[in-house]
Structures are given as C-alpha cells and as structure tokens.
Amino acid sequence: MVEPETFTFLADLALNNRQAWMNDHRDERDDAMRNFTGIAMTLHDYAGHYDPVFAETQIKPKQCYTKFFQEPRDRVGRALYRTGIDVFANAGRPLEDFGYYLHIEPGNCHAGAGLFQPSKAALARTRMCVRDEPEGLKDILTDPDFTRTFPDGLITRKALNAVPDGFDSNEPAAPYLKMVGLGCRKDLPDALLLDDKVIDLLIQIFRVARQLVRHFD
C-alpha cells in the first residue's frame, strides 16, 4: 500500500521544509506522488466492498490527494509543504463532497471519512444538514459500531468560538455547527500501511464510516 520510500520522503521533508530542498528531491517527490495515485486507484477499485455509490463514480486519481504545496491561507506556521497527505475516495471533489480518506504521515496515519476543508457552499450545506437532521446525526454517533471504530466521535481541523450567524446557540447540534468541516478518524500504525493486506482493514473502517458519508450526501 504505502511504499517505505514514501514514508522516508515525508519524514525527510518534515526536517527540510524548504523550496531548495524540495527542488533537489523532485525524483523522490514524484515517486511519492505515483504512490498516492496508486493508492487512490486501489481505494476506488475496492469501493464496491464499502460503498457501492462511490464504486460507480468516475475518478481522476491524480486529483484524489492533497498536493504538497500549501497555499498561504492554509499554512500552519511557515511550512511551505504538507508533510502529511490525504488520499481521498470521493470522486476527486475533496472540497465539495463527503468521502473516505487515508491520511499518510509518519507517526500520524489514520483513516476515516468526512469533509475537512469544504468550499463555502459545501460548508453551508453541511451546517444546514446538521441543523435540520440532528436526530439522524445522533443515531450515527451513538451507533455501537461507530463509537467502537471512532471513539473520538466527530472531529474537525478548525472550530469557531461561536455558532455562525443565522444559527441558534441553544440547538442540540451547536457544537457541530461550530466545526469548519468535520469527520471521523481511526489511528493506524505506519507499519500496518506497508502491507497491501491493510486494504481489508480500510474496507472495515470505511463500511462503518459510510453512514456518515450517506447522511451528508
């Protein structure tokens, strides 16, 4: 699944997050990108085992993972490049659609589902769904398989201090309305991702996460 050289490249990039270093290691970068493309294709090839809806979509594998370069508004600190890459299974529309993902980063790998960096329109749709269908979301978050697989429940990469304008802070789903993108994740050891058989585990994780994807579909 993940090639050892990909982990090595990402670890080295974390220590040398500079344009000059990246330019000197283009071959390793390109090899890692080919690995991500292959993973995206694998996730799609096996989609029939976890989400028949996604299995029937057409994908562009090279558009199904985050790029290394970070736009200024997305940067954390001064790092130019991402040292962790998300490979998506959502027809290559990671800003618009909920989908499945595998996050590849040395010492911080995980898999799950969600929409973590939505466009403005997608974020608005998500919040409307959270507000209008709180019981459906509650059923997912209290489902035994979901809580066992994703003990942290819903997570986000950014949360607002207050409920957005137009929403009631007293609503039961108020904590989720503050989330700028949301999803679920299950941590995975790096060594596990080196084995092609990890696809069986990813299928299990994605099957459980499917109810979240379908809820926001």
* Number of structural domains found in the chain: 1
Query: Containing domain of residue 60, as a range?
Result: 4-215
- The per-residue pLDDT for range 110-135, each reduced to its tens digit, is 999 999 989 999 999 999 999 999 99
DSSP 80-131: SB-SSEEEEESTT-TTTS-EEEEEE-TT-EEEEEEESS--HHHHHHHHHHHH
* HSE, side-chain direction, 13 A CA sphere, residue 217: 15
57 pLDDT tier (thresholds 50, 70, 90): confident
> How much is the pLDDT for 93?
66
73 pLDDT tier (thresholds 50, 70, 90): low
Stated pTM of the model:
0.92
> 80: which 2 tokens?
């130019």
- The per-residue pLDDT for range 156-208, each reduced to its tens digit, is 999 999 999 989 999 889 999 999 999 999 999 999 999 999 999 999 999 99
78 pLDDT tier (thresholds 50, 70, 90): confident
59 pLDDT tier (thresholds 50, 70, 90): confident
State the average pLDDT for the chain. Answer: 93
72 pLDDT tier (thresholds 50, 70, 90): low
Phi, psi of 104 (to 5 degrees): -115, 115
> How much is the pLDDT for 74?
63
In angstroms, the CA 15 to CA 83 distance is: 9
* Cα angle value 199/202/204 (rounded, 5°): 115
> How much is the pLDDT for 111?
98
- The per-residue pLDDT for range 19-51, each reduced to its tens digit, is 999 999 999 999 999 999 999 999 999 999 999
> How much is the pLDDT for 95?
65
Residue 92 pLDDT greater than 60, yes or no: no
> How much is the pLDDT for 91?
60
Cβ-count burial of 201 within 10 angstroms (0-12 exposed, 13-18 middle, 19+ buried)? middle
> How much is the pLDDT for 63?
87
